Amino acid sequence: MGLIGGSIGLAVRERLGADVTGWDPSPGVLDAACAHGALDRGADSIAAAVAEAEVVFVAAPVGQLPATLAEVLRAAPHDCVVTDVGSTKRSVVAAIDDPRFVGGHPLAGAETAGVEHARGDLFQDAVWYLTPTEATTGTGFERLHRALRGLGARPTTIDAATHDTMLAAVSHLPHVVANVLVAQAARALEEESEQLPATGPSFRDATRVAGANSAIWTDIYLANRDALIERIDDATRRLAEFRALLEAADADGVTAWNDGARADRQRLLEAQLAGGPLHELRASVPNEPGVIARLALELGRAGVNITDMALYPAPNQAEGVVALWIAGDEPAERALALVEQLGFPVAEA
């Protein structure tokens, strides 16, 4: 029941009007969470906390997740959906083989810690990654997706390994690099026995996150070390490439390298352009395990973001309709084509 757990409790109570029971290894923290309004009640044990849950959020440190999740899943109802909020997904998804579990990671609140900083609006407009596998139960996944939308978040389905690589590339490595930049600047300045008269906006931008809260970031770096080491190796290779161009005084090479970065930045910016008109697609899907998850994963892989989702089981229970809301004409077209390719009849509503 820290910042994230506490904020989830507050948000669920405020925005979903649902009943929330919580547990924390520390009775003091559990009491504080209740006092803060994050919980309707505290329970004496994990089993007691989850016995009647429809949705369970597990906010333990990444290293403890496999054990804690296993305990939760032992006691949770058979139709419950269980998720975590850890900043890396590969290891936890590999450790848990249960159709009720969906890995999750909200992009929110890495600056402070503790339930006293918890806020019900913490997840408003926040991307919330979900990493279902082909084993994941569709109804549970849909319930979780819907709940997150209710908290104001933007659930985004992605493959666990891709998640970790991407976070390493766009968050963890930039933090590491910010630290490297301030350290080399501080040492260079000391050696030259000069104070730094002025740093420009490029230095301030590049080092804004240097020395971020170790209590949080040490765990993040270590939890994601495989993907982060890969990114560090890539960055080191590129620095060596550029160094060689400099040493050879290769002006054309330097210009090409620079222009390549401009093109890359442009592509990244374009990839983030959100919005566009909302299209509702309806697909007929068999009522088989993993179908919904597979659909969501394939769409995610193709870069189509599912803004919203609803399931409508048919009376015969053998099949059902899944409604998907997709923002943007082009993504919606791609989604239509993709769902057809997967073999499901689909049409725009």
Cβ distance to its own copies smaller for residue 78 or 262:
262
**Tally of helices (H runs) and strands (E runs) in the chain:** 14, 11
**In the beta sheet, which residues pair with residue 57?**
83
CA angle in degrees (0–180, nearest 5) for 170-176-179: 130
Kindly state the smallest distance separating residue 182's Cβ from its own copies, in Å.
Answer: 4
When the beta carbons of 302 and 347 are compared against its own copies, the nearer one is 302
- Contact with its own copies (CB under 8 A): which of 9, 120, 300, 328? 300
Nearest approach in angstroms of CB 299 to its own copies is 11
Q: Rule CB under 8 A: which of 267-286 touch its own copies? A: 267-268, 271-272
CB 329 within 8 A of CB 276: yes
Distance CA 62, CA 241 (A): 36
Residues contacting 48, CB < 8 A, separation 6+ = 21, 23
Would you count residue 240 as binding its own copies (CB under 8 A)?
Answer: yes
DSSP code of residue 112: -
| Region binding its own copies by CB under 8 A among candidate stretches 5-13, 74-82, 231-239, 341-349 | 231-239
Residue 342 engages its own copies in binding (rule: CB under 8 A) = no
Render 169-186 in DSSP notation, one character per residue: IIIIHHHHHHHHHHHHHH
- Three-class SS of residue 12? helix
Residue tagged 């819907």 (tokens):
146
Per CB under 8 A, does 336 bind its own copies? no
65-94 binders of its own copies (CB under 8 A): none
CB of 320 to its own copies, least distance (A): 27
- The count of residues interacting with its own copies (CB under 8 A) is 93
Each residue 91-110 as x (binds its own copies by CB under 8 A) or -, in order, gives ----------------x---
338 near its own copies, judged by CB under 8 A: no
Q: What is the DSSP string of 198-267?
A: ---HHHHHHHTTTT--HHHHHHHHHHTHHHHHHHHHHHHHHHHHHHHHHHTT-HHHHHHHHHHHHHHHHH
**Closest CB 309 distance from its own copies, rounded Å:** 16
Calpha distance 119→106 (Å, rounded): 14
145 binds its own copies (CB under 8 A): no
If the CB atoms of residues 31 and 226 are measured against its own copies, the closer one turns out to be: 226
108-137 binders of its own copies (CB under 8 A) = 127
Q: For residues 168-227, which are near its own copies according to CB under 8 A?
A: 168-171, 173-189, 192-200, 202-203, 205-212, 214, 217-218, 221-222, 225
